[in-house]
Structure 1
Amino acid sequence: MSFQYLNPRASPKFKDRYTTKADESRLFYEKGRKGDIGVVGLPFSKSSISFSMASEAPKTIRKALGAFSTYDGSRDRDFSEVVWLDYGDVQTHPTDLEETLHRLKQSVTDMIDTEACSRYIVLGGDHGISFPSISAFQKKYGRVGVIQWDAHHDLRNLDDGGRTNGTPFRSLIEAGVLKGEDLVQIGIRDFSNAKAYSDYAKEQGVRFYTMGDVERQGLDAVVAKEIERLKDKVDIIYLSVDMDVVDQAFAPGCPAVGPGGMTSRELLSSVATASRHTLVKAMDIVEVDPSKDVRDITSRLAAHVMMRFMYQ
């Protein structure tokens, strides 16, 4: 029988013939297939020091891309030709943290080794995923510079609880993967950190900017200045976007929300500024908890962060 208005294989959603949605530019990775951006999900949040279901974020962020078109009106350009290859999500171990970290690093390495794309996006997960992800990029490309958008230093000690979402950058520094001077932290928020970790950052040569610094100097200016400083020192630049850098009014779906953060426009503008540089090779987006979100506000903002990276 031929159905006039039914299709068991397709969604009944409306389709405008002149509009391409960002999720329509996705192809699933197959051997020999090429794309512009490689995307992998690291759905892990068991290392979070607060309750978190950030492991659900990769699928909600991908879904959110279906709400936005590929046309940028400010530049009068359609980016529908930009293809992102989806490598899927890593199968994590149900109980073994170290095994999961190994799987995350191996999977990011596997994606890079296909050489099917020129740039990459890693969807977390909590911020603990940055340790294996950045380690994989360092092994492949050499010296890595990191620009981190975050309310927190994530330089906690490893004695109180081991590797958590509060320790990725201390883990990277102490493992010799990342030099302190090659780490830039932007958006560090008042009453969200301990003095010991601010002191540790200074001792290691980390460049960090509080929200007060951002207000005085300008966010885009800070990003441009630090990329200029890093470009002659590192082989690639990796962007790490912790969504809790955004004020809780604009990103309610984070485990560690708080007032006094960036606006969504500030985050998007600064990510776009960074992403235009040729040395910027990869980005992760972390700390989106769909169970705490309201009308997918935070997942949709994370999808826009992806698009600012993809569409340059």
Structure 2
Amino acid sequence: MFPYLKEAGKATFQDRYVKKANELLVPWDGKQAGNIGVIGVPLSKSSISHSGAAFAPQAIRQALSFYSTYSIEAGIDLADITVTDYGDVVMHPTDIVESQRRIAETVEQVVALYPESKWIALGGDHSITFPVVSGWQKQKGKIGMIQFDAHHDLRNLEDGGPTNGTPFRRLIEAGVIDGSQLVQIGLRDFANSRAYTEYGKQRGVTMYTVEEVYRLGIQTIIEKSMQMLSDVDAVYVSVDMDVLDQAFAPGCPAIGPGGMDSRTLLQAILLLARYDKVQAMDIVEIDPTIDFRQMTSRLAAWFILQFLKEKKEGDF
């Protein structure tokens, strides 16, 4: 009726020849789904440091609006991809363990409905990886994991319970994965303890430090990692944004110098997405309340587009 009135929040500049990446997200109608599914996991009460990562799923979705669907490098347009957005898992207001149980149950149920879909989980802190992977793995069989992280996240549970420092220890000790099926990339100096490095080695975890990333090259590391995981049925990629140098990810609760640069991590995700076995990814540890000009959320949104770009080139 009124040509210059639009729905609140929608009154932005529109170019008839440009489709924004956030338009790829289509709410699930309870019936049909696209080849890619997104689910928000807004849990950060389990963080051992102050964190507003519970606000990240919506911040990442919104950050997609800063990008178009066209890749000038690949010469392809993602405009015809449907990314089904299943919304956010409802967290318990006080009970962390109950929240994690809800996450695992929800992921298991949704993946069971659409087992052929690829999945992207938007955290939340890194504690979400345990329940997400636990639910996802039940439909996948033997899985491998590639973890981009400054930290091992192999902490004991006695000193703090199921925090964001424990997900990979929990996955190993619960038998969801074997330590030999876990590759950690980007471990940073002065960010870990000897005890947890030794624990990982004893369990057969493969570890690459930031220095090794630049000395060996990310392509070599990805190729070696996927070759090592050649006998698994599916691979899950976990991206903790604090693997990046603080200059590239100021919105991480655990920022620090000496991390990876954003271009290297973008390349790594592109390389991994080329493998059919790579079927799921999470992005965790973004606190929008401390971010600067949405730098960290914008980068996370680009990770999603990198994943979609390569999957489209391979026609999923």
TM-score (norm: length of structure 1): 0.97
2:115/2:139 contact within 8 Å kept: no
SS of the residue aligned with 2:40?
A: strand
Residues 93-146 of structure 1, C-alpha deviations (whole Å, 9 max, x = no match): 011111111101011112212217620000000000000011112211111100
The answer for unaligned runs of 5 or more in structure 1 is: none
Q: CA deviation at 1:147?
A: 0.3
Q: Is the 8 A contact 2:239 2:281 kept in 1?
A: yes
Distance 1:8 1:167, change over 3 A: closer
**Map of 1:36-75 to 2, 5 A cutoff?**
36-75=35-74
Q: Is 1:115 aligned with 2:142?
A: no
**1:170 alignment counterpart:** 169
Contact 1:38 1:111 in 2 (8 A): no
Corresponding residue number in structure 1 for 2:93: 94
**1:117 to 1:14, Cα distance in 2 relative to 1, 3 A:** farther
Cα deviation code 1:190-214 (max 9, x no counterpart): 0000000010111000001001111
Sequence identity, in percent?
51
Name the amino acid aligned to 1:105.
A
Relative to structure 1, the CA distance from residue 176 to residue 148 in structure 2 (aligned partners, 3 Å threshold; closer, same or farther) is same
Query: Aligned-pair distance for 1:222?
Result: 0.2
Does residue 1:267 correspond to 2:298, yes or no?
A: no
- Partner amino acid, structure 1, of 2:202: E
* Superposed displacement of residue 309, structure 1: 1.1
2:138 is paired with a residue of what secondary structure? helix
Offset at residue 20 of structure 1 (A):
1.0
* Partner residue, 1:242: 240
CA distance in 1, matches of 2:8, 2:30: 25
CA contact (8 A) 1:123 1:284 kept: yes
* 2:241 aligned partner, one-letter code: M
Cα pair 1:253 1:294 within 8 Å, conserved: yes
Q: Tell me the residue number matched to 1:181.
A: 180
Q: Cα–Cα, structure 1 residues 8 and 134, in superposed 2: closer, same or farther, change >3 Å?
A: closer
Task: Return the alpha-carbon distance in structure 2 between the equivalents of residues 292 and 21 of structure 1.
Answer: 25
Residue ranges of structure 2 left out of the alignment (5+ in a row)? 311-316
Compare 111-120 and 270-279 and name the one that shifted more.
111-120
Q: Does 1:251 align with 2:249?
A: yes
- 1:177 shift after superposition: 0.7
Shift of 1:175: 0.6
1:278 matched to which residue of 2? Answer: 276
Deviation (angstroms), 1:308: 1.0
Structure-2 change in CA distance of 1:52 and 1:207 (3 Å): same
1:31 Cα shift?
2.5
1:134 aligns with 2:161: no
Q: Deviations over 1:20-41 (max 9, x none)?
A: 1111111111222120210000
- Which amino acid is 1:310 matched to? L
Instruction: Give the deviation of 1:307 after TM superposition.
Output: 1.0
Which letter does structure 1 place at the counterpart of 2:298?
R
Structure 1: distance between partners of 2:78 and 2:19:
9
CA contact (8 A) 1:35 1:117 kept: no
Could you tell me which residue of structure 2 aligns to residue 303 of structure 1? 301
Cα offsets for 1:198-235 (capped at 9, x unmatched): 1011100000100111111001210121112202x211
Q: Is contact 1:32-1:116 (8 Å) kept?
A: no
Which segment is superposed worse, 114-123 or 176-185? 114-123
Tell me which residue corresponds to 1:14.
13
- How far, CA to CA, are the matches of 1:120 and 1:21 in structure 2? 21
* Cα distance in structure 2, aligned partners of 1:86 and 1:64: 15
CA distance in 2 between partners of 1:161 and 1:9 (Å): 43
Counting matched residue pairs gives: 310
Aligned to 2:313: none
TM-score (normalised: structure 2): 0.96
Once residues 73 and 116 of structure 2 are traced to their aligned partners in structure 1, the CA distance between those partners, rounded to angstroms, is 26
Say if 2:97 and 2:162, in contact at 8 Å, map to a contact too: no
**In the TM superposition, what is the alpha-carbon distance from 1:4 to its structure 2 partner?**
3.2
Kept after mapping to 2: 8 A contact 1:35/1:85:
yes
